[in-house]
């Protein structure tokens, strides 16, 4: 039997992503980003994102179909991010998916953005074991999720109580005047710095703290204060040391809690996804600590970690393969989907 051929649309934040997969095989991954337009505001501006999605939507769908070399009429379904995300941005993708699905006579599958960040790893490493433990770290979320069934049962074990991990990277980069988005720049500077140069706090790691929740706002403030003190004293800020020490604090907590969750739940596979999973130190540290704990680590290549349409298509294909019910034509774009 042929594996399902599915087109996926992602518009929850600032990337207009359209991907096409056949089962676990990636055929096309077209992304148009409005990140440069947002850069001068130091963050994503929702109204600008929605307008950019509207302009990029149809050309990106056409580019993906061309890249995959498939006809729209051959698709087995159209999947789309239904939430969570920016309301206006989601609405553009959901409306486009409905229009194409209805016009082509194909089933529509509304999917959860976080579940598709996990499912995308099937395009890299094949079928996900069940259950899978997932650490999702991006600009909008930092969560530990237990997924007994990626299409129907994904359970949140814990999440950040304040800033997301990527948000902390972006805010620290802003204090250091390194531009937006901050993650990739800090990652680069950190390579020249000493991760033990400055002892920054590890949030929520006390014995009485929630074992799977995260907090990065205190760390961000500690870094900002440290920099301010240097500047006030008229001393030069050692950017590389600050970047490396801050990055060490974030990745230390993320990997420690993820491995603890695996141990507690008896899961021997850890998947890491979301934009921060592109971080080189997080990948290296997770590899080292998972190996020591006897846990198999699965991290997709960086391009599949950041928002894209292929991850939506991957989850859509899994839903088709498992005969999950298609969504109704009144599928809502739900910005606060859990």
Binding positions are 113, 117, 136-140, 170, 183, 187, 279, 307
Q: Distance from first CA to last CA of the chain, Å, rounded?
A: 34
Considering only residues 136 to 175 of the shown chain, the ones binding Zn ion according to CB under 5 A are 138
Distances (CA, A) of 219 to 39, 51, 177, 198, 239: 23, 34, 18, 12, 16
The annotated binding site for Fe cation is made up of 113, 117, 307
Query: Which does residue 23 touch among ligand KG4, Zn ion, none (CB within 5 to 8 A, set by kind)?
Result: none
Distances (CA, A) of 88 to 13, 34, 46, 225, 336: 9, 15, 7, 36, 12
Enter the DSSP assignment of 45: -
Task: Give min distance, CB of 76 to ligand KG4, in A.
Answer: 27
Closest to 19 (Cα-Cα) out of 105, 89, 122: 122
Binding stretches for ligand KG4 (CB under 6 A): 13, 138-140, 166, 169-170, 181-184, 187, 274-276, 278-279, 306-307
Query: Which does residue 279 touch among ligand KG4, Zn ion, none (CB within 5 to 8 A, set by kind)?
Result: ligand KG4
Q: Is the dihedral of CA 315, 318, 324, 325 positive or negative?
A: positive
Task: Give min distance, CB of 229 to ligand KG4, in A.
Answer: 25
* 60 belongs to the binding site for Zn ion (CB under 5 A): no
Task: Give min distance, CB of 144 to ligand KG4, in A.
Answer: 16
Nearer to ligand KG4, 5 or 164 (CB): 164
Nearer to Zn ion, 170 or 248 (CB): 170
CB-count exposure of residue 291 (10 Å: 0-12, 13-18, 19+): exposed
Q: What angle do CA 334, 167, 311 make, to 5 degrees?
A: 50
Nearer to Zn ion, 138 or 142 (CB): 138
Among 15, 163, 187, 307, binds Zn ion (CB under 5 A): 307
Phi and psi dihedrals of 37, rounded to 5? -65, -35
Task: Give min distance, CB of 275 to ligand KG4, in A.
Answer: 2
User: Which alpha helices (DSSP H) does the chain contain, by range?
Assistant: 35-39, 46-68, 87-104, 113-119, 122-125, 165-175, 182-190, 217-232, 239-265, 280-293, 302-305, 310-321
Task: Give min distance, CB of 140 to ligand KG4, in A.
Answer: 4
Query: Which does residue 16 touch among Zn ion, ligand KG4, none (CB within 5 to 8 A, set by kind)?
Result: none
Query: Which does residue 169 touch among ligand KG4, Zn ion, none (CB within 5 to 8 A, set by kind)?
Result: ligand KG4
Nearer to ligand KG4, 256 or 263 (CB): 256
Task: Give min distance, CB of 318 to ligand KG4, in A.
Answer: 20
Please state, in angstroms and rounded to a whole number, the distance separating the CA atoms of residues 38 and 50. Answer: 12
Residues near Zn ion (CB under 5 A): 138, 307
């Amino acid at each position: 039997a042929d594996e399902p051929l599915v087109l996926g649309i992602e518009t929850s934040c600032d990337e207009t992503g359209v991907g096409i997969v056949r089962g676990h095989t990636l055929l096309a991954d077209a992304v148009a980003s409005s990140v440069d337009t947002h850069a001068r505001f130091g963050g994503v501006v929702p109204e600008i994102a929605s307008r950019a999605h509207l302009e990029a939507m149809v050309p990106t769908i056409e580019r993906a179909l061309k890249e995959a070399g498939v006809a729209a009429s051959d698709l087995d379904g159209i999947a789309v991010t239904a939430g969570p995300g920016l309301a206006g941005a989601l609405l553009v993708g959901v409306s486009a998916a409905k229009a194409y699905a209805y016009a082509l006579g194909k089933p529509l599958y509304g999917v959860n953005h976080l579940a598709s960040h996990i499912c995308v790893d099937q395009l890299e490493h094949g079928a996900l074991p069940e259950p899978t433990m997932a650490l999702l770290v991006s600009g909008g979320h930092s969560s530990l999720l237990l997924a007994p069934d990626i299409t129907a049962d994904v359970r949140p074990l814990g999440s950040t109580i304040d800033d997301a991990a990527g948000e902390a990277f972006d805010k620290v980069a802003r204090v250091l005047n390194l531009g937006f988005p901050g993650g990739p720049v800090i990652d680069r500077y950190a390579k020249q710095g000493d991760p033990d140069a400055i002892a920054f706090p590890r949030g929520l790691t006390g014995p009485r703290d929630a074992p799977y929740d995260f907090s990065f706002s205190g760390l961000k403030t500690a870094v900002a204060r440290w920099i301010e003190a240097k500047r006030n004293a008229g001393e030069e800020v050692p950017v590389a040391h600050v970047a490396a020490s801050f990055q060490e604090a974030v990745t230390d907590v993320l990997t420690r809690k993820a491995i603890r969750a695996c141990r507690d739940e008896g899961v021997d596979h850890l998947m890491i996804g979301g934009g921060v999973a592109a971080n080189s130190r997080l990948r290296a540290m997770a590899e080292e600590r998972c190996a020591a704990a006897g846990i198999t680590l699965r991290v997709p290549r960086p391009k599949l970690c950041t928002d894209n349409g292929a991850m939506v298509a991957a989850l859509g294909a899994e839903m088709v393969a498992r005969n999950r019910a298609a969504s109704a034509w009144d599928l809502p774009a739900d910005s606060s989907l859990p």
